[in-house]
Amino acid sequence: MRKRIAFLNLQKTADSGQCFLWERMGEQAYRIRHAAHTLTIRQLPRGLFEMDCTPEEWESIWSPYFDLGVDYGAYCAGIDPADAYLRAAARSARGIRILRQELWETMVCFLVSQNNNIPRIKGTLNRLCALYGGFPSPQQLARAGRAELEGCGLGYRAAYLPAAAAQYLRDCEAAPARAACWEDARAYLQTYAGIGPKVAECICLFGLGHKAAFPVDTWVKRILAAHYAEGFPAERYPGFQGVLQQFMFYYERSLLSKFS
């Protein structure tokens, strides 16, 4: 099927550091796996997209995944006209959407992401998926021994995964996070070994749809130091400061061509 979609750019979204397992299938085309579903989607000129799913699958699975029910144009229109940096970031990042990813996978991906770089995160996650013939389930990782994970390049993070899987299952698939508001979900997630403030914010933003979450990593720290000495004016952007954080993260990395 083909469909016209506003405010969606596949390449920018793929390069925005929120998903690590999109498989590039050529120019502006990706194979995306989400829960039990797989989609191949290609971006054509003038906001047109071609995808290999039925209209029903698109509406029930992929439209929510791409957060298409939300007007990103309104987010951009809300930016302070006097904030030249943020306006430039939003212009550069136009087309990035906050993906609504599966919670367990988001937890694993961002556990792996800590003190790591994006090319290596992708490599490690791809090796994990190759080892298990797909994204490892919590049951598989809960059983995984040290020797089993050796070779994936997890480094010291390897110990976090079986422990996180066990807790995730013990807590009925992290039910306390799913039912909670952003602050409570963040606090719950930090009870996992290896999940601190930054990783918890990422999971809230990318795995639970809490767009108020505002992850601060080394890049965002630099941005705040350079452009927001008084702190980012999050109160001006209630409920979507996380989207703007993502725009700034993408923009800052684009200035140094740090994509891969």
Partner DNA sequence: TGCCAGGCTTCAC
Partner DNA sequence: GTGAAGCATGGC
User: How buried is 118 (Cβ within 10 angstroms: 0-12 exposed, 13-18 middle, 19+ buried)?
Assistant: middle
Residue 207 makes contact with DNA by CB under 7 A: no
Residue 128 makes contact with DNA by CB under 7 A: no
Residues 88-127 touching DNA, rule: CB under 7 A, are 110, 113-121, 123
Catalytic: which of 3, 12, 198, 221?
198
* Shortest distance, position 11 Cβ to DNA, whole Å: 15
Binding residue (CB under 7 A) for DNA from 86, 99, 199, 212: 199
Task: Determine the residue type at 226.
Answer: A
Residue 217 makes contact with DNA by CB under 7 A: yes
Stretch that binds DNA, among 57-65, 78-86, 150-158, 175-183 (CB under 7 A): 150-158
For residue 16, the SS3 value is: coil
Residue 162 makes contact with DNA by CB under 7 A: no
Smaller CB separation from DNA, 163 or 169: 163
Binding residue (CB under 7 A) for DNA from 13, 18, 101, 140: 18
Smaller CB separation from DNA, 142 or 149: 149
Residue 219 makes contact with DNA by CB under 7 A: yes
Residue 198 appears among annotated catalytic residues: yes
Kindly list the distances between the CA atom of residue 36 and the CA atoms of 134, 137, 240, 259, in Å, as whole numbers in the listed order.
Answer: 10, 12, 29, 28
User: How buried is 4 (Cβ within 10 angstroms: 0-12 exposed, 13-18 middle, 19+ buried)?
Assistant: exposed
Binding residue (CB under 7 A) for DNA from 26, 27, 172, 218: 218
Residue pair 30/22 in contact (Cβ under 8 Å)? The answer is yes
Residue pair 18/12 in contact (Cβ under 8 Å)? The answer is no
Stretch that binds DNA, among 14-22, 60-68, 86-94, 230-238 (CB under 7 A): 14-22
Residue pair 254/92 in contact (Cβ under 8 Å)? The answer is yes
Smaller CB separation from DNA, 56 or 260: 260
Residue 241 makes contact with DNA by CB under 7 A: no
Q: Which residue has the tokens 């940096």?
A: 85
DSSP 8-state class, residue 135: S
176 backbone dihedrals φ, ψ, rounded to 5°: -60, -30
Kindly list the distances between the CA atom of residue 192 and the CA atoms of 23, 46, 165, 196, 256, in Å, as whole numbers in the listed order.
Answer: 29, 44, 10, 8, 34
Binding residue (CB under 7 A) for DNA from 181, 193, 226, 255: 193
Binding residue (CB under 7 A) for DNA from 95, 138, 194, 209: 194
Give which of 79, 12, 35 is closest to 241, Cα–Cα: 79
Residues in the site for DNA, rule: CB under 7 A?
16-18, 110, 113-121, 123, 153-156, 190, 192-200, 202, 215-220, 245-246, 249, 253, 258, 260
Q: Which residues are catalytic?
A: 198
